[in-house]
Amino acid sequence: RLKDLEVAELGDSDVRVKMLAAPINPADINMIQGATPLPAVGGNEGVGEVLEVGRRVAALKPGDWVIPAGAGLGTWRTQGVFPEETLLKVPSDIPVLCAATLSVNPCTAYRMLADFETLAPGDSVIQNAANSGVGQAVIQIAKASGIKTINVVRDRPDLPKLVERLMALGADHVITEEMLRKPEMKDIFKSIPKPRLALNCVGGKSTTEMLRHLQPKGTMVTYGGMAKQPVMVPVSAFIFRDVRLRGFWMTQWRKDHAQDQESLASMMDALCQLIRRGQLAAPACTEVPLQDYKAALEATMKPFTSSKQILLL
């Protein structure tokens, strides 16, 4: 529910922030459904403007734009007071919707493309749930690096429109899960090499099929399980093709790199550069005023959502 609360007093190391925009991600809903002690404010992602800083705050000043440094900040609010270390400064010359959707999906896409296989221009990546926020970011970041993408989506009534949208982002191939099982897949690999990296956010049959197209010694990284089914791997894939199965969770990466500000800063810098050059756009968004939050939450939970709901605060 929407409640009016008193904004906390500003401590010496605190920052008062006016939130500008915050998306509703599926992970936010999962968190509310079971991972967060209640009462709590929802929302793990968003962008705000600094209004006021405590006297010990050195790195931020009024007017700066900030995004959450980790999960669980509670971004679905108009204002908040947060400890300085929970916030990351971002440039205010990027579009507000790009900033609001920067800290989870583009970071996840960036790390998975960088951390598991050494990819060079001309290499290829295969991914399912290609129209998700992460999927759209993978397409654009890969394209900017000269890496080809094979993008798997579920069949749906408006498939040609979705294919067109992903191709416009820079996708090389967009195929349905059914197509993964067909002999025509061979045609794709006449023009591009088999992928060394597969990104899985679904699980179940889609994943097993995707794995069949991976190069020997290739890596599949699982970062979600939308089908709520396990990842099934044929024994032959391990024995004869020595494929690697890994997992990735952005929240854990942030914890592991809490002392390593350099790698966080260089990632954010690289992503902001891509945004400025027009090579990384915000996902398709529907902007919703905060008071219409119920409609926005319902829209997020519908199947085949192609547009991310963004609360305007």
Residues 178 and 246 in one domain: yes
Q: What is the pLDDT of residue 223?
A: 95
Q: What's the total number of domains in the chain?
A: 2
Residue 128 covered by a domain: yes
Q: What is the mean pLDDT of the chain?
A: 94
Residues 240 and 110 in one domain: yes
Q: Quick check: 111 pLDDT over 90?
A: yes
The model scores a pTM over 0.85: yes
User: How confident is residue 65, by pLDDT bands cut at 50, 70 and 90?
Assistant: very high
CA distance 72 to 303: 25
- CA angle (143 as vertex; 138, 144 as ends), nearest 5: 105
Q: Quick check: 204 pLDDT over 70?
A: yes
Q: Quick check: 95 pLDDT over 70?
A: yes
Residues 151 and 221 in one domain: yes
CB burial class (10 A; 0-12, 13-18, 19+) of residue 99? buried
Q: Which of 112, 87, 82, 111 is nearest to 99 (CA)?
A: 87
User: How confident is residue 30, by pLDDT bands cut at 50, 70 and 90?
Assistant: confident
User: How confident is residue 147, by pLDDT bands cut at 50, 70 and 90?
Assistant: very high
Residues 48/19, Cβ–Cβ less than 8 Å: yes
Q: What is the pLDDT of residue 180?
A: 92
Segment 35-61, tens digit of pLDDT: 677 888 999 999 999 999 999 999 999
Residues 54 and 180 in one domain: no
**Residue 174 structural domain:** 105-250
Q: Quick check: 307 pLDDT over 90?
A: no
The CATH number that applies at residue 137 is: 3.40.50.720
Residues 97 and 123 in one domain: no
Q: Which of 68, 61, 65 is nearest to 95 (CA)?
A: 65
Q: Quick check: 266 pLDDT over 80?
A: yes
Q: What is the pLDDT of residue 188?
A: 94
Residues 224 and 159 in one domain: yes
Q: Quick check: 29 pLDDT over 90?
A: no
Between 117 and 308, residue with greater pLDDT? 117
Residues 245/231, Cβ–Cβ less than 8 Å: yes
DSSP helix/strand/coil, 135 = helix
Q: Quick check: 70 pLDDT over 80?
A: yes
Segment 155-184, tens digit of pLDDT: 998 899 999 999 999 999 999 999 999 998
Segment 211-263, tens digit of pLDDT: 999 999 999 999 998 888 999 999 999 999 999 999 999 989 999 998 898 99
Residues 59 and 119 in one domain: no
Residues 168 and 51 in one domain: no
